[in-house]
Structure 1
Amino acid sequence: MTRYKLDKYKDEIVNLYINEKLSCAKIANLYNAHLCGIYDALKRWGIKTRNLSDSHKLYKVNDNYFKNIDSEAKAYWLGFIYADGYITKPSNIGISLKDIDDVHLTKFLKCINSDYPINYYVSTGYGECRYARIIINSVQMFNDLLLKGVKLKKSLILQFPDEQIVPKEFQLSFIRGYFDGDGSLILSENSINIKLCGTKEFLCKVIEIFNEVSNYNFQNKLFKRHKDEKNNYYFSYGGRLKVISILSKLYDNANIFLDRKFEKYNKLINS
């Protein structure tokens, strides 16, 4: 990436360096840039670079949180990261959400016992969009997530985790996390609908689990999201009772969920 292309990301890069305390090497990796290019850009923008001893400020985090998926919360957050998180080399874990959902990032930080900051941005790529983001730096967590099925550039190759990764008793919590990240509940005068996006293999397994826990038949019918993408699908099911039959299983005794979607679910069951 040339020095002038880096200028497009000035605010983000400065924030990562100043507020999130990422090193120039990690920022260079995130933006596929040369290390010296990041140093030069910071200098050109009037940012004083840290020396080696200053560049290793550590935030608190439970590095071993995802070592074993043995609770509702861990299964939920793994599903959420499958859908709405990402990992980048050498050891970064990131989650970005609309700024109105920033309390959800606070929930995650509390679960992993972390004091990493939540940072806020405005993207103008496709109209103004405000979002919140955390980036965790942890070699152990990065490696554990890899072992748990989170892939680099995962959107078209994602597989549903087997029972050695997510035990059967936590599969619905995992799906709830994934639904909160990459699903939707549509409530309108003419339609009550649940939708989930993912790879063919992933969605087929979710449908299989739906049919195991519900009295309704969820047909294995998928639709392509974009014609030019080989493995990017969604399924969509409608009908009040059918939608409630599966959402009630996802939310039964749940302690962690995206508040905004849970409120819509409550609106549905109380209507």
Structure 2
Amino acid sequence: MDETTKKLLIGEGMFLAGFSLRAIERHLKINRKVLASYLKKEGYGIEAKTGNSGYDKYEKYEKAVPEFLEGKSIRELAKKYGFSRQGFSLHLKDQGIQVNATKPSNGSEETSRKIKQAKELYNEGKSIQEIKKEVKLDGAILAHEFKKMGIDTIEEARKYKVNEDIFKTIDTGEKAYWLGFLYADGSVTFENGRYVLELGLKAEDVNHLEKFKRFIDTDAKIDDKLVKLKGKKYMAKRIAIHNKKFVQNLIKNGCTPRKSLNLSFPDETILPKEFVNDFIRGYLDGDGNIKKFDRNTYNPQVYVSFTGTEEFLTSLCKWLDVNPNKFDNEGNAFRQRFGGNNKAFNILYCLYDRGTVFLDRKKEIFDEWNKYLSQRKSLFK
């Protein structure tokens, strides 16, 4: 992954945390027009602005640093290169270059007052976003001052309530279900100190995201995202959890980055036998398919299918005690399909009959098949 792509991914996380494009630009040193275009392509409601970007000043700062070290004043360099003295002073401090204090102007006195107020609000328990809104202090100055206190404003802004230990041990059917669902549909990222779980579903399944929110006890927002799939566009809903411990627990339990290429069925050290059916139901709800019941079809037949790696599907078939069919190849993934009313319905019955958590629309399909097959069986007794 190249440096620009890394910055864009980090910038996306900062944007979700509430940072403005200008603040992200200053922190990551990336042109906000480039970032805006990237976010727009990812489906966010962003309009890329025209005109020069403030990013240009960083190149000027770098040119001015050697001249400052040679003895030129900040005032001279600000006039020569057309940047603010305060911004360049902060840049020097961030580079570890000592800047001699000068008599503050009225403007810097006002900034000092706001910084003091910001620190007081932080000590009172206010969030970074609340402080920025109340104090109206430039984000770069706030980040710089808080950095001296050992506070990372990016991480602070991402904080919200979440049970970060929920996946530490898989010891309930509900935990097993959601682990299976995340094996199928969750996206885990960890790089450059960025730990994120993202879960995106169709807009019609937003209720399922609400169930997940309650399960992990979080107040993180559910956002809209425009998704492109097979040449079509549709609006999706997603939730992103930025929490190192939360993500590390998922990775420890086998829910890893790039899992479409390396996913393995969890062993007993991760998933106790009594919760395997819950796990598989979660996986089916996330990345499986059940044929819809059609009353207009003569002698309708059930089928159920799972998509995953060859290794994962082989272990799944072993657990379900069914002989695997030949896997269908779907790009980098494989698909295992079970047909025939007895085999397919027996699988669904084991998964859904006593399940306590499920994707509503798939449970409804199971209920229709269950009713139909029960009625048909009673007719032939």
TM-score by length of 2: 0.59
Q: Which has the higher contact order (CA 8 A, sep 6+)?
A: 1
Cα distance, 1:113–1:2 mapped onto 2, change above 3 Å: closer
User: Gaps spanning 5+ residues in structure 1: where?
Assistant: 29-33, 212-217
Q: Is the 8 A contact 2:185 2:199 kept in 1?
A: yes
Residue 243 of structure 1 deviates from its aligned partner by 1.8
Kindly provide the amino acid, as one letter, of the partner of residue 366 in structure 2. Answer: Y
Residue 39 of structure 1 deviates from its aligned partner by 5.1
Kindly provide the amino acid, as one letter, of the partner of residue 169 in structure 2. Answer: N
Take 2:334 and 2:20, find their aligned partners in 1: how far apart are those partners?
Answer: 37
Take 2:272 and 2:218, find their aligned partners in 1: how far apart are those partners?
Answer: 26
1:65 to 166, 177, 181: 166
Deviations 1:66-94 (A, max 9, x none): 10000011101111111000111121011
Q: Percent identity?
A: 33
> Structure 1 segments of 4 or more deviating over 3 A?
16-24, 38-51
Tell me what 2:29 maps to: 36
Tell me what 1:196 maps to: 306
After superposition, where does 1:62-211 map in structure 2 within 5 Å?
A: 62-89=163-190, 90-124=194-228, 126-187=231-292, 188=294, 189=297, 190-211=300-321
Take 2:176 and 2:202, find their aligned partners in 1: how far apart are those partners?
Answer: 22
Residue 40 of structure 1 deviates from its aligned partner by 6.2
Cα distance, 1:99–1:219 mapped onto 2, change above 3 Å: same
Query: Aligned pair 1:249/2:354, yes or no?
Result: no
Cα distance, 1:19–1:243 mapped onto 2, change above 3 Å: same
Tell me what 1:261 maps to: 362
Q: Is the 8 A contact 2:302 2:345 kept in 1?
A: no
Take 1:270 and 1:87, find their aligned partners in 2: how far apart are those partners?
Answer: 38
Residue 253 of structure 1 deviates from its aligned partner by 2.2
Residue 17 of structure 1 deviates from its aligned partner by 4.2
Cα distance, 1:161–1:23 mapped onto 2, change above 3 Å: farther
Kindly provide the amino acid, as one letter, of the partner of residue 254 in structure 1. Answer: G
SS class of match (1:130): strand
Cα distance, 1:139–1:17 mapped onto 2, change above 3 Å: closer
Kindly provide the amino acid, as one letter, of the partner of residue 189 in structure 2. Answer: T
Cα distance, 1:122–1:240 mapped onto 2, change above 3 Å: same
| Alignment root-mean-square deviation, CA | 3.2
Residue 127 of structure 1 deviates from its aligned partner by 1.5
Cα distance, 1:166–1:17 mapped onto 2, change above 3 Å: same
Larger radius of gyration: 2
Task: Count matched residues.
Answer: 249
Residue 252 of structure 1 deviates from its aligned partner by 2.9
TM-score by length of 1: 0.81
Q: Is the 8 A contact 2:302 2:341 kept in 1?
A: yes
Structure with the bigger percentage of helix: 2
